[in-house]
Amino acid sequence: MTNHKRPSLTVLFSVVAALSLSSCGGVAEPSEAPQGRPGDAHEIWAASVLADMTLAEKVGQMFTTYAYGATADTTDPADVARNRDFLGVDNAAQAIETYHLGGVIYFGWSGNLNSPQQILELSNGMQDAALAQPSQVPLLISTDQEHGIVTRMPAPATAFAGNMALAATGSAQDARTAATITATELRAVGINQDFAPVADVNVNPDNPVIGVRSFSSDPALAAECTAAQVKGFQQSRYPVAAAAKHFPGHGDTSVDSHTDLPVIDHTRQEWEEYDAPPFSAAIDAGIDVIMSAHIQFPALDPSGDPATLSEPIMTGLLRGELGFDGVIVTDSLSMAGVNELYPPEEVPVRAINAGVDMLLMPPNLEQAIGSVLAAIDSGEIAESRIDESVLRILALKHKRGIVDEPHADPDQLDKLLGTPQNKKRAAAITARGVTLVVNDDETLPLAGDTTRTLVVGPSAGRVDDISSQLDTNGLPADSFVTAFDPDAAEIEAAVDAASGASAIVVATSTVASNPGQADLVAALSELDAPVIVVAVKEPYDINRLTGVDAYLATYAYTDGALRAAADVIAGELNPTGTLPVSIPDAEDPGTPLYELGHGLRYPSSH
């Protein structure tokens, strides 16, 4: 391999100036840039560090991966075996040393997220390993703490019901507060980057991968909440780098990019109207990072390349037209959507040449890094192109205070994470989002003389949370658990269990994919008791149900959301949420069954 000389500091400052001053947010050639030091302290620091980095160190900064284990230097035999298979090393500390990693990402399934104290010690161990390297550059430590159905942090961290539930409150300030609390608690355990918020506009009710992770089907509401969260994450006293995802917009698909390559058939005008506003709002709010989507978008790039590998989308559109000059990160490179057209070793090279800065979770890290180094050696990737990305990554680390304070303070953990004040604010915000969609004949709130309520639905935790809270509110309740898609025998057993009940509460979740739930509701509606449905995920379930007397949407199955639903049923809480999406007629999708903004209240006498 060719011996790549380290660039001079003067050349690097020229690159920095080009990054800062290019009118369209793109990158000018270093020879065209004004000479001299740009005024930004973060970029000055980044350029000075980059000047002393080897090529291998620079390329390593562009990669983020996970490692198995509860500690950075784990010797647990099972974790070591998994790490050797995945990374070719024993543990995260060895991976950082071997590959000069710029970032790591935590998951529960990789053994990283067991308790706040363990996470803090893991993070500090990760940073110790990074700071022991010649470049002494700390890590971006990330996770996907979206809340709701994508929640990574374990208890006692403060939990929210997720984006759609936040938008249902009608308050962008609630979205910002949730992000501020999340940033504080993540930073308390040493996590300094959150791959959130989801900026996709969920205009397709059948979307299998976004759904309630989106704020809304309304671009303006999604944009307002996205900008509010960006400010909450990044302007907190304890800030984290936020990442708006998934550009150019993953909201109108019925295909999951984890398993296939979705095609978005929006026109350019529709993209501007529906998909672009939240990303534009995020950029205006100063977003640090934007994550790419593994989707084909022919109106934006007719080549058929997924957006992650598309120069017209990543550079021409995101950098050029929208003016974003922060860090672009890929979605996971282990997902099927990005590997469908090209072999895994080609994907990182194509992503970099498309304009991406940070490469997330390649299926074979050693191969991915080797392919990038080989592409630089052959001239397929210019080393100046690598410098552009690494300058952005280093400047971000300096800007977010990671360089000055890479470690988490153990003495602050209990003062910052899962505090009574945080949990109280989260409970109030979650309660404000619960939406009463149907209340025929004033079925709700249930009268105090209700003698027995049966709560039916999938998953013991969901139904038990509702029945327990009803009991607390003075409404005796029992639970009956079914499968997600109950068969005829289960439905018959549920009807038998409901015999004699004075009210029946049914928890539903994604009825479109589980038609047995619709059959269950229809069968229970033949009894004399009123049927109250609580949709604990997407709010669209109502368009496939019959015989419903009252219908609530919680947008999440968190403990707080289900307790709030029970409080609404019992009349302890007057619902104030409004639909952040339009619910279409299932038989005629062009006709709304319930409009965006719909939400019922109880009379003031309640």
Give the active site residues.
Answer: 331
DSSP result, 288-356: SEEEE---B-TTT-TT---GGG-HIIIIIIIIIIS---SEEE-S-TTSHHHHSSS-TTTHHHHHHHHT-
Count other C-beta atoms under 10 Å from residue 588's C-beta.
10
Give the distance from CA 533 to its chain's centroid.
27
Q: Give 277's contacts (C-beta < 8 A, 6+ positions apart).
A: 201, 219, 220, 222, 223
Q: Cα separation of 318 and 355, whole Å?
A: 9
3-state secondary structure (DSSP) of residue 374: helix
Residue whose C-alpha is closest to residue 224's, from 168, 278, 289: 278
| 257, 337 contact by CB (below 8 A) | yes
Output the six-digit token pair for 159: 């939990």
Q: Cα separation of 415 and 431, whole Å?
A: 25
Q: Cα separation of 108 and 111, whole Å?
A: 5
3-state secondary structure (DSSP) of residue 193: strand
Helix 559-570 × helix 460-472 angle, to 10°: 40
Give the distance from CA 499 to its chain's centroid.
42
3-state secondary structure (DSSP) of residue 427: helix
Instruction: Write the single-letter amino acid at 483.
Output: A
What order do you get walking across the sheet with 103-105 strand by strand? 327-329, 289-292, 241-247, 193-194, 140-143, 103-105, 63-65, 359-360
Report residue 184: phi and psi, to 5°: -60, -45
Q: Cα separation of 322 and 327, whole Å?
A: 14
In the DSSP assignment, the letter for residue 33 is: S
| 258, 339 contact by CB (below 8 A) | no
Number of alpha carbons in the 13 Å side-chain half-sphere of residue 165:
33
Output the six-digit token pair for 36: 């001299």
Q: Cα separation of 30 and 500, whole Å?
A: 79
Give the position of tokens 């506003």.
277
